Chain A
Amino acid sequence: MKIAVCIKRAADMETRFKIAPSGTSVDETGVKFDIADFDGFAVEAALQIKEKEGAGEVTVISLGADAVQETLRKALSMGADKAVHLKADAVPADALAIARVLAAELETGGYDLMLFGRMAIDAANQSVGPMAAELLGVPCVTAASQLTIANGKGTARRELEGASEVLEFPLPAVVTIDEGIARPRLPSLKGIMAAKKKPLEVKPVQAGESRVTVIKMELPPERTGGRIIGEGPDAVPELVRLLQTEAKVL
C-alpha cells in the first residue's frame, strides 16, 4: 500500500498573530510553525493504516519555500518513510494552483491512497484535496473521521452535527481527514534522530498563475471584557436569554 499525505506548514494556532506591514500577510517573527492541524491528523491516519497492514510506505509531500522541510521532517519523525519538497518561493492563494502542483506530483507516485487534511488551518479553503482528486480523476471523500482499507477498497465515515454517513470507494482515491480520526502521535526522540536519515527529495516546481490574490488582512476586533449576569442556577434563564437575543448564538 502506497500512501501519500499532502501537508502544509502553518502557524501554530495558539500563537498570537500580528499582520505584516504589507497588510496582506502575517508577520512571521516569533510565530511557531507546525504541520497544519488537520494535516497532522492525516499523517496519523496514514501511519495507522500502514501499521495495521503491516507493510506499505508513507510519503509526505509539501509545497512551499525551504522552511517546509522542517515540517516534512516532523512528519518523518512521526514515522513517515519519505518526503518530497515541492520547492516554490511561496504557496499561492489560489487553491487550484496548489492542487495542480500537488496532483502533478501525486500522479507520478502511483499511490493507492492520497490523504489531505480536511482544510488547511490557516487558509481554510477546504478545496485543495477535492480539486486534486478531480484533476487526477479519482474518487474523493471529504472530512473523514474514520477510515479503513480492506481488500483494495476504502470505507470512510463522515460526521455532521450528530448524524453520520458511511461511504465505500475503490482505490486509488483521495480522502480528506477530519480531526476525529486519531490524535497525531508525538515524535519520539529516536524518531527525530531517524528522520534526519530518511530521504527528502527536493523538486523545484512552478506554481501556475494564481487567480486569487489576498488584498487585505484584518484581525478580529479586540474582545471587550466579560459580564457577570448573576450566580448559580438562578442566572441561567437570563444567560440563555442573552445568548439568544444579544449574542445570537443559540
Chain B
Amino acid sequence: MTDFYAIDSALSEEERAVRDSVHRFVDERVLPIIGDCYVEGRFPRDIVPELASLGVFGANLPEEYGCAGLNNVSYGLIMQELERGDSGVRSFASVQGALVMYPIFAFGSDEQKRHYLPKMASGEIIGCFGLTEPDYGSNPAGMITMARQQSDGTWILNGAKMWITNGSTAQVAVVWAKTNGDKDDKSIRGFVVPTNSKGFTARDQKGKLSLRASDTSELVFQDVHLPADAILPKSGGLKSPLMCLTQARYGIAWGAIGAAIACFEEATSYAGNRVMFGKPIGGFQLQQARLAEMLTEIVKGQLLTLHLGRLKDAGTMTPQQVSLAKRNNVSVATDIAREARRLLGANGILAEYASMRHMANLESVYTYEGTHDVHTLVLGQAITGLNAFQ
C-alpha cells in the first residue's frame, strides 16, 4: 500500500482497521470483476449486499439508524479504498450515503429516518439523487422541475433530471424541485419519491465512455402524485442540496486519491517488470520522473484529505475547503491516471489494466459534483470576496 509519508501513523487503530477491511474487500470482490463490468457497461449489482453487510452505506451516520457510526476520516478511507477499485463503485456508495441517506438524516422527519435509513444501510433500498437537469447543470438554481401542493396537502411533481447516478437501479429518488410556481431558488425543497410512482420514468443514458460500471439515467416526472409527507420537512432553498454535495465532495476528494494510488501502483509494478533496451523501464530517468511526480501528488493529496477529515470531525470544515480538496485531488488523479496509462505503453489501453479505466472514469468525477471550473470560482470568491457567478 502506498504510504510514503507514514500517514498510517497519523490514523487511529480503528481507522486503519476500517481501511484494511474495505481494502481487502476491494481486492477480493471488486478488482477481479470490474474490468469486465466496465467493458460490458454494467454496474456490479451483486456486490451491493456484501457492501451493505460490510457496513459501507452511510457509514458515518449514527448506529441508531443501522449505520456504522464511524468518524469522517474512516468514512473518507472507505471512499478511497472503493475508488481504488473503481469510481463507479465509489459513486454508488457516495450517492447512497452522502446524497440520499444524508439528506433524509439531515432534513427528514423522524418517520422518514426510521423508515428509510436502516433499509438503505442494509442495501434493501437503493437511492438516487436528482438535482441536475438537461438545461441546468452548473447552475442548479435555475431548475424548472416543479412540485405543486394540492388543497389536500399532497403534491404533484413535474419535470426532468439528467445524469442521475443509480437512476434506473434505485427504489427511491431524492428529487429537488421548486415549489408552487415560485421561480426563486429559495423555494427549492427535497422530495422522497418512490421510483415506482405513477408518472415516474427512468431511462439509462447510453453511450458513456466514462464511469461505465455505473448506472447513469435520465428521470422524467409526469404528474407524479406524492403524499404530503413525501417532502423533506427541514429542507429549504438551494442550500439544502448544496449541503448534500459538500458531504459527497468530501468523499470524492478521498476517492480520487484511491484511484490515483491504483494507477501509481500499477505503473510502479509495470515499470519494474517491463524490460526494454535491456533493462526495466523503471530504470530510465523519464519513467522515474513520471513515478516521482505521481507519488508526490498522491502524498500531498493524502495529507490534504486527512487534515480535511480531521476538520470535519472537529466540526469546523468549510464548503470552500472541500472545494479546494475536490478540485485538487480529482485534477491530480486525472493526470496521474493518464501518466500511468502512458507508462504502460500499449498494454495501458487494455481493460485488463486499470489505468485507462480510471483515467476515463475520472473525467466524470472532474465534471460532476461541481466541475473543476466551478470549484475554481468558489475558491476565487473565497479569496477575493467577489462572486464570479453573477
A189: chain B residues at CB < 8 Å are 18, 21-22, 54-56, 59, 68, 70, 74, 78
A85: chain B residues at CB < 8 Å are none
- From A73, A187, A192, name the one whose CB has the most chain B CB atoms within 10 angstroms: A192
Pairwise interchain contact A190-B68, C-beta atoms closer than 8 A? yes
A244 on the interface (CB 8 Å rule)? no
Pairwise interchain contact B13-A73, C-beta atoms closer than 8 A? yes
A77: chain B residues at CB < 8 Å are 17
Complex Cα distance, B70 from A192, in Å, reads 9
Q: Given A186-B54, A188-B21, A188-B53, do A196 and B14 touch, yes or no (CB 8 Å)?
A: yes
**B-facing residues in A56-81 (Cβ within 8 Å):** 70, 73-74, 77
User: Closest B-chain residue to A77, C-beta based?
Assistant: B17
User: Closest B-chain residue to A183, C-beta based?
Assistant: B28
B122 to A: closest C-beta gap in Å: 11
B29 to A: closest C-beta gap in Å: 10
Complex Cα distance, B156 from A152, in Å, reads 66
A70: chain B residues at CB < 8 Å are 13
Pairwise interchain contact B17-A187, C-beta atoms closer than 8 A? yes
Complex Cα distance, B69 from A186, in Å, reads 18
User: Closest B-chain residue to A225, C-beta based?
Assistant: B275
A20 on the interface (CB 8 Å rule)? no
CB-CB contacts of A216-228 with B at 8 A, as 1s and 0s?
Answer: 0000000000000
B69: chain A residues at CB < 8 Å are 193
B22: chain A residues at CB < 8 Å are 189
A192: chain B residues at CB < 8 Å are 14, 17-18, 21, 68
Q: Which of A73, A74, A188, A193 contacts B54 (CB 8 A)?
A: A188
Q: Given A193-B63, A193-B70, do A187 and B21 touch, yes or no (CB 8 Å)?
A: yes
CB-CB contacts of B1-18 with A at 8 A, as 1s and 0s?
Answer: 000001000000110011
B239 on the interface (CB 8 Å rule)? no
B246 to A: closest C-beta gap in Å: 22
**B-facing residues in A180-219 (Cβ within 8 Å):** 186-193, 196
**A-facing residues in B59-100 (Cβ within 8 Å):** 59, 63, 68-70, 74, 78
A65 to B: closest C-beta gap in Å: 15
Q: Given A186-B21, A188-B53, A188-B55, do A193 and B13 touch, yes or no (CB 8 Å)?
A: no
B24 on the interface (CB 8 Å rule)? yes
B353 on the interface (CB 8 Å rule)? no
User: Closest A-chain residue to B17, C-beta based?
Assistant: A192
B387 to A: closest C-beta gap in Å: 40
CB-CB contacts of A157-194 with B at 8 A, as 1s and 0s?
Answer: 00000000000000000000000000000111111110
Q: Given A193-B68, A193-B69, do A186 and B24 touch, yes or no (CB 8 Å)?
A: yes
B63: chain A residues at CB < 8 Å are 190, 193
B18: chain A residues at CB < 8 Å are 189, 192
CB-CB contacts of A24-55 with B at 8 A, as 1s and 0s?
Answer: 00000010000000000000000000000000
- From B13, B21, B55, name the one whose CB has the most chain A CB atoms within 10 angstroms: B21
Pairwise interchain contact A186-B70, C-beta atoms closer than 8 A? no
B74: chain A residues at CB < 8 Å are 189
CB-CB contacts of B34-59 with A at 8 A, as 1s and 0s?
Answer: 00000000000000000001111001
B368 on the interface (CB 8 Å rule)? no
User: Closest A-chain residue to B53, C-beta based?
Assistant: A188
A246 to B: closest C-beta gap in Å: 23
User: Closest A-chain residue to B70, C-beta based?
Assistant: A189
Q: Given A189-B55, A190-B55, do A74 and B24 touch, yes or no (CB 8 Å)?
A: no
B107 on the interface (CB 8 Å rule)? no
Complex Cα distance, B21 from A218, in Å, reads 32
User: Closest B-chain residue to A188, C-beta based?
Assistant: B55
B113 to A: closest C-beta gap in Å: 18
- From A188, A189, A190, name the one whose CB has the most chain B CB atoms within 10 angstroms: A189
User: Closest B-chain residue to A15, C-beta based?
Assistant: B1
Q: Given A190-B68, A193-B63, A193-B69, do A74 and B17 touch, yes or no (CB 8 Å)?
A: yes
User: Closest A-chain residue to B16, C-beta based?
Assistant: A70
B6: chain A residues at CB < 8 Å are 30
Complex Cα distance, B75 from A193, in Å, reads 13
B78: chain A residues at CB < 8 Å are 189
A188: chain B residues at CB < 8 Å are 21, 53-55, 68
Complex Cα distance, B14 from A234, in Å, reads 54
A134 to B: closest C-beta gap in Å: 35
User: Closest B-chain residue to A196, C-beta based?
Assistant: B14
A196: chain B residues at CB < 8 Å are 14
Complex Cα distance, B14 from A124, in Å, reads 29
Complex Cα distance, B53 from A191, in Å, reads 10
B5 to A: closest C-beta gap in Å: 12
A190: chain B residues at CB < 8 Å are 55, 63, 68
A193: chain B residues at CB < 8 Å are 14, 63, 68-70
Complex Cα distance, B18 from A73, in Å, reads 12
Pairwise interchain contact B25-A186, C-beta atoms closer than 8 A? yes
Q: List 22 A-B contacts (CB under 8 A).
A: A30-B6, A77-B17, A186-B24, A186-B25, A186-B54, A187-B21, A188-B53, A188-B55, A188-B68, A189-B54, A189-B55, A189-B59, A189-B74, A190-B63, A190-B68, A191-B55, A192-B14, A192-B18, A192-B68, A193-B14, A193-B70, A196-B14
Known: A187-B17, A188-B21, A192-B14. 15 other contacts (CB 8 A): A30-B6, A73-B13, A73-B17, A186-B24, A186-B25, A189-B22, A189-B54, A189-B55, A189-B78, A190-B55, A190-B63, A192-B18, A192-B21, A192-B68, A193-B70
Cβ-closest 10 pairs across A and B: A189-B55, A189-B68, A192-B17, A190-B55, A188-B55, A186-B21, A190-B68, A187-B21, A70-B13, A188-B54
